[in-house]
Amino acid sequence: MLAIPRPAPESLSPGVAQYVAQVPEGDLLAFLETQTDQFDHVISALDEARGGHRYAPGKWSLKEVLGHINDTERICAYRLLCIARGEAQPLPGFEQDDYVASGHFDQRSLGDLLAEFLDIRRASLSLLKSLDEAALHRSGTANGRPYTVAGLAYLLAGHAQHHFSVLTSRYLP
């Protein structure tokens, strides 16, 4: 299986570098699979009432955090696909707060949001496993920033890890 190279820190914008730094050294695909199991284990054990919890006024609910993770995973995977296939057009950014506000995640069940995450992650893993060496090194632009396919793969993992850490430290007892 193809190893996804860790992007050099100097090749990442500061906003992306903070997420990539949360991904441990080693096999990225194995980490993504372990991370998926961790999400499943923790979220599936929660009572539905926990989904509306906000750790402070003005913060997203636990369900909104999960919805945001799902949206961001989809967007990162889309960007990754486009750039891997050689897309030369700049890809748009997205405003996370607007997406969360429009997502109506609090109206969904935790189980539904978790199932969606698991489906999206399986699709992301399938996409990553299908790439060849040349695709991993392709670069493009999204949200006005340069990205490589490998960098997006690490961003996908690091973003989820960041929010998993927030969930376990601030939302859960």
Q: Are 151 and 10 in contact (CB under 8 A)?
A: no
Q: Which fold has domain 28-45+61-171?
A: Four Helix Bundle (Hemerythrin (Met), subunit A) (1.20.120)
Could you tell me the end-to-end alpha-carbon distance of the chain, in angstroms, rounded to an integer? Answer: 39
- The pLDDT, as a whole number, for residue 1 is 67
Q: Name, in order, each residue with C-beta under 8 angstroms of 115's C-beta and a sequence gap of 6 or more.
A: none
Reported as a single tens digit per residue, the pLDDT across 40-56 is 999 999 999 999 999 99
The closest alpha carbon to 122, from 64, 36, 59, 26, belongs to 36
pTM of the model: 0.96
